Amino acid sequence: MAILKNSLGLRAGLLSLLILAAILGLWQIATMPTAASGPAVDPEYAKLVGNAAATGSKAALPTPADIGATIWGHLSDPFYVRGSNDKGIGIQLAYSLGRVLLGFGLAALAAVPLGFLIGMSPLVYRALDPFIQILKPVSPLAWMPLALYTIKDSAISSIFVIFICSVWPMLINTAFGVATVRKEWLNVARTLEVGPFRTAFKVILPAAAPTIMTGMRISIGIAWLVIVAAEMLVGGTGIGYFVWNEWNNLSIANIVTAILLIGLVGLALDQGLARITRLVTYPE
Amino acid sequence: MFKDPFDPKTFLGRRCSCGGRHAEADHARLTAAAQPGSPEVRGEEARWSRVVDAAVLRAVFPVDAQRRLFLKTVGRATAMAAISSVLPLGLAREAFAQGGAPEKKALKIGFIPITCATPIIMAHPMGFYSKQGLDVEVVKTAGWAVIRDKALAREYDAAHMLSPMPLAISLGVGSTSVPWTMPAIENINGQAITLAMKHKDKRNPKDWKGFRFAVPFDYSMHNYLLRYYVAEHGLDPDKDISIRSVPPPEMVANLRADNIDGYLGPDPFNQRAVYDGIGFIHLLTKELWDGHPCCAFTVSKEFATQNPNTYRALLKSIIDATAYAHKPENRKEIAKAIAPANYLNQPETVLEQILTGTYADGLGGVKKDPNRIDFDPFPWNQFAVWIMTQMKRWGQLKADIDYAKVASEVYLATDTAAMMKEMGLTPPDPSKKTIMVMGKPFDVAKPDDYVASFAIRRS
């Protein structure tokens, strides 16, 4: 059994590598420099424009080798500071992570107690439901102009945007988890004359914990998606600003580097929460 | 640098061998300073204070040997204290430099990464701010709406804006109304209409029906000039073409993606489109109006009144940097200074082509136009009035306003002129400015008639 499982893992790994190689190969072929086909250009003119424009075409996408070199360049010096608008990619990622964790943490502090309240009281659930339903589908970036206008601080505004986008999944999941705790358990607690607070912490919380954690996992995924967009909008620092700054320079190699790193960090965040979820889940 | 007069080893002779009333050691410096425009004319608090100290010491000790003996015996600190008790050196220094120490030294200035902001940006790497004793951080910002909101929220102490923006903010057009001032223009000219490569045979605006254009902001010279240009060719900019607001850095990417057909935008993005083979330069805006204003250095009225010395020091650095950028021989050095990722994040050759005016046009030709972009700080009130007539013409400004009053409140020509004079530059006569847009003269005394004279208008 173990061997079969191993060999399945092995085969899956091999297949992944094969897919990667195929993608890189296709990419390399697609971005191969074509022989100069356009009309011959005045050499004085050619000096003033990029290679592609000099041969009468548009600038092409970088090859995988270009990207590799760029990634290596960033990873070998991730924490440089060359002025307030030019910092290493490690520092930018740290800024973004800091914002996400802060906004997410605040959202958790607000959503879990409120979700508990909503889940335990059908009255509150019904009263708050219309607000939640209207606010939940609003794109978090739509809040940005309002936040900038009212909060008057771009740093707090971006944290607010993270807060507002990560609060809903946690709120709804907490309420759902709390509301669907098995009635038998609550009845047992009632029979044993357990106080309401003790019931909440010793019965409901452990029972609802896996659902709450799932909500958190959804939230952090959304928060990490949103921070890039928010930072592109507001600028200053963060991985989103990095992408925007390299977009200014039409530097696709740098943007691809950022995309890969954003993906890796997102994966790490998700896996971290998945691990915590497993810790609080227990077999019935 | 002047020698420290409180150093007993320093020799402070009273007369120079040239016969002038200055020390031998100061000869070269002082004669150089007499020529306006030389780098020595620039104010430098530290240097002034030494000049003042030296003058005071000379008055107290007419014989230089006595001064040195005195300093050697009692020491520098005692000497300074003794003399300060008779004559407050600090006050004398201040009076001489005509301004006290800045109230606020650490400042944040927001900018958009375009060549229009050259003086604001280059003043950082090239030390124009630190020369005035300011510790300025220049912060790159994503778009005009964000820079406006950050400036209004006091996150920035001063900001790079488009020249119509301080007017719009002061009038409360497209913004909350906050008194805003513009003590200096950054650049004149320096914009262009860039079209996608596929339109290289459609050079006549009459063929542009249905085109999608981008401008940086609704309240921009770009918007007004593009509207003016197509309207002169018989197209209604609201009906026959569409104009949308796109942050300058995103223009090239949008042109490449075929989201727009062209733009009237700031450099480096016109030249960048050429560099990447995406578009060509249809015309430079200087061909529409030679000497038109574009971007501006702005502060809130509140900041200027609450921090008068900081405001003066800041304005001094900006005028200083603008005067430096005005000189063609400095342009290559500037291109190098502002190209890195911390500032414009562009290939150096692109910036050099823009600033020197020898550029590839995107169609295989090399053009030479040294005035493609120029830097001139003087905030002519005539510019403000022209801009407001266009706000009126296109329906952005509905109310009747006193053009001249608003212009003089926002475009601080008097401040700039005084500062220029102080720095040894020659300010122009504020009343002498003629504006000619596409061959049509503008009479600043009759703004309403000017608006009414256009066939295509919204008001």
Cβ of A44 and B277 within 8 Å? no
Q: By 3-state DSSP, what share of chain B in percent is helix, strand and coil, each rounded to 5?
A: 45, 15, 40
Residue A254 is assigned to a structural domain of this protein: no
The answer to whether the CB atoms of A59 and B343 lie below 8 A apart is no
Burial (CB count <10 Å: 0-12, 13-18, 19+), residue B218: buried
pLDDT of residue A107: 94
Cβ-Cβ contacts under 8 Å, A234 against chain B: 142, 146
Instruction: Check residue B31 and give its pLDDT.
Output: 46
Residue A259, in any domain of the structure: no
Please answer yes or no on whether A49 and B275 come within 8 Å at the CB atom: yes
> For residue B289, what pLDDT is reported?
92
Residues of A in contact with B341 (CB under 8 A): 82, 85-86, 245, 249
Average pLDDT over residues B320-340: 88
Q: What ipTM score was computed for the predicted complex, to two decimals?
A: 0.73
A-chain residues within 8 Å CB-CB of B354? none
Residue range B41-57, pLDDT digits in tens: 444 455 555 555 665 56
Q: How close B375 comes to chain A (CA, Å)?
A: 23
Comparing B19-23, B185-189, B253-257, B352-356, which segment has the lowest mean pLDDT? B19-23
Average pLDDT (B355-384) is 88
| Min distance A178 CA to chain B CA atoms (Å) | 42
The mean pLDDT value for A160-172 works out to 91
Q: Read off the pLDDT of residues A124-139 as tens digits, 9 standing for 90 and up.
A: 888 888 888 888 888 8
* Residue A263 belongs to some domain of the structure: no
pLDDT at A271: 92
A53·B277 Cβ contact <8 A: yes
The residue among A70 and B5 whose pLDDT is bigger is A70
Model confidence at A219, pLDDT cuts 50, 70, 90, reads: very high
Q: Is B360 helix (H, G, I), strand (E, B) or coil?
A: strand
CA distance B413 to chain A (A): 30
Q: How far is A56 from chain B (nearest CA, A)?
A: 7
Nearest CB to A234 within list B142, B346, B362 = B142
Residue B178 at interface with chain A, using a CB cutoff of 8 Å: no
Residue of A nearest to B357 (CA): A48
In a domain, residue A66? The reply is no
Chain A residues closer than 8 Å to B276 by CB: 50, 52-53, 58-59, 250
User: At CA A40, angle to CA A37 and CA A45, rounded to 5?
Assistant: 120
* Subunit contact B146:A233, Cβ cutoff 8 A: yes
Average pLDDT over residues B7-13: 57
pLDDT band at residue B193 under the 50/70/90 scheme:
very high
Q: Is B441 on the interface with A (CB under 8 A)?
A: no
Q: Which of residues 211-250 of B touch A (CB under 8 A)?
A: 249-250
For chain B, percent of residues with pLDDT exceeding 90: 14
Query: Average pLDDT in the B180-197 region?
Result: 89
Range of the domain at A169: 97-237+269-280
Indicate which CATH number applies to the domain containing A169.
1.10.3720.10
Count up the domains in chain A and report the number. 1
Q: Mean pLDDT, to the nearest integer, of B270-282?
A: 90
Q: Any CB–CB contact under 8 A between B153 and chain A?
A: yes
Mean pLDDT, to the nearest integer, of A7-23? 90
> B250 vs B34, which has greater pLDDT?
B250
Are B276 and A85 an interchain contact pair (Cβ–Cβ within 8 Å)? Answer: no
B449 pLDDT higher than 70: yes
Q: Is the pLDDT of residue B30 over 90?
A: no
Q: Which residue has the tokens 């009144």?
A: B305
pLDDT at B70 over 80: no
Whether the CB-CB separation of B200 and B269 falls below 8 Å is answered with no
- Asked if A49 lies within 8 A of B360 by C-beta distance, the reply is yes
Tally A–B CB contacts below 8 A. Answer: 120
For position B36, what pLDDT does the model report?
41
Q: What is the pLDDT of residue B192?
A: 92
- Indicate the range of A37-46, B14-23, B125-134, B156-165 predicted with least confidence: B14-23
Q: B160 falls in which pLDDT band (50, 70, 90)? A: very high
Question: Does the residue A142 lie in any domain?
Answer: yes
Q: Identify the pLDDT of residue A77.
A: 84
**Which domains, and CATH codes, for chain B?**
24-97 (no CATH), 106-189+293-430 (3.40.190.10), 191-287 (3.40.190.10)
| Better pLDDT: B64 or B11 | B64
B329, pLDDT greater than 80: yes
Q: How many CB atoms lie within 10 A of CB B181?
A: 24
DSSP state of B340: S
- Confirm or reject contact between B155 and chain A (CB < 8 A): yes
Distance CA B251, CA B245 (A): 10
pLDDT in tens, A234-253: 777 889 889 888 888 888 88
**Tokens standing for residue B196:** 């996608």
Q: Which of B153, B253, B360 sits opposite A45 (nearest CB)?
A: B360
Please report which confidence band the pLDDT of residue A263 belongs to, taking 50, 70 and 90 as the band edges: very high
pLDDT higher than threshold 80 for residue B321: yes
Alpha-carbon gap, residue A21 to A61, rounded angstroms: 18
Phi, psi of A253 (to 5 degrees): -60, -45
Residue A5 in domain? no
pLDDT at res. B444: 86
For residue B6, the model assigns a pLDDT of 62
A4–chain B nearest CA distance, Å: 49
Assess if residue A137 is contained within a domain: yes
Q: Which residues of A touch B197 (CB under 8 A)?
A: 58
pLDDT at A108: 93
For residue A115, give how far its alpha carbon lies from the nearest alpha carbon of chain B (Å): 34
- Angstroms from A270 CA to nearest CA on chain B: 30
What pLDDT score was predicted for residue A167? Answer: 92
- Is there a contact between B137 and A84 if contact means CB atoms under 8 Å apart? yes
Which of B120, B342, B354, B367 is the best mutation test for A, with the most CBs of A within 10 A? B342
Residues of chain A with pLDDT > 70: what percent?
A: 91
Confidence band (pLDDT; 50, 70, 90) for B86?
low
List the strands of the sheet with B295-300, edge to edge: B135-140, B106-111, B158-162, B295-300, B180-185
**Does residue A68 surpass a pLDDT of 60?**
yes
- Asked if A52 and B277 come within 8 Å (Cβ–Cβ), the reply is yes
Output the pLDDT for position B39. 41
Alpha-carbon gap: B312 to the closest alpha carbon of chain A (Å)? 24
In a domain? residue A89:
no
* Residue B195 banded pLDDT, cuts 50, 70, 90: very high
CA nearest neighbour of B276 among B334, B360, B340: B360
Nearest chain B residue to A54 by CA distance is: B277
pLDDT band at A53 (very low <50, low <70, confident <90, very high): low
pLDDT at B92: 43
Residue B99 has pLDDT above 70, yes or no: no
**B145 in reach of chain A (CB within 8 A):** yes
| pLDDT band for position B225 (cuts 50, 70, 90) | very high
Residue A97 pLDDT grade (very low, low, confident, very high; cuts 50, 70, 90): very high
Q: What is the reported pLDDT for A34? A: 60
Average pLDDT of span B168-190: 85
DSSP calls for B282-321: EEEGGGTSTT-B-EEEEEEHHHHHH-HHHHHHHHHHHHHH
As a whole number of angstroms, the distance between CA B404 and CA B198 comes to 45
Report phi then psi at A164, rounded to 5: -70, -30
Distance from CA of A126 to the nearest CA of B (A): 38
pLDDT tens-digit readout, B288-312: 998 899 999 998 888 888 888 888 8
pLDDT above 90 (res B223) = yes
Chain A residues touching chain B at CB-CB below 8 Å: 39, 41-42, 44-45, 47-50, 52-53, 56-59, 82-86, 145, 148-149, 152-154, 232-236, 241, 244-250
- Identify residue A68 by its one-letter amino acid code: G
Provide the pLDDT for residue A81: 82
Average pLDDT, chain B: 81
Average the pLDDT over B255-267 and give the result. 90
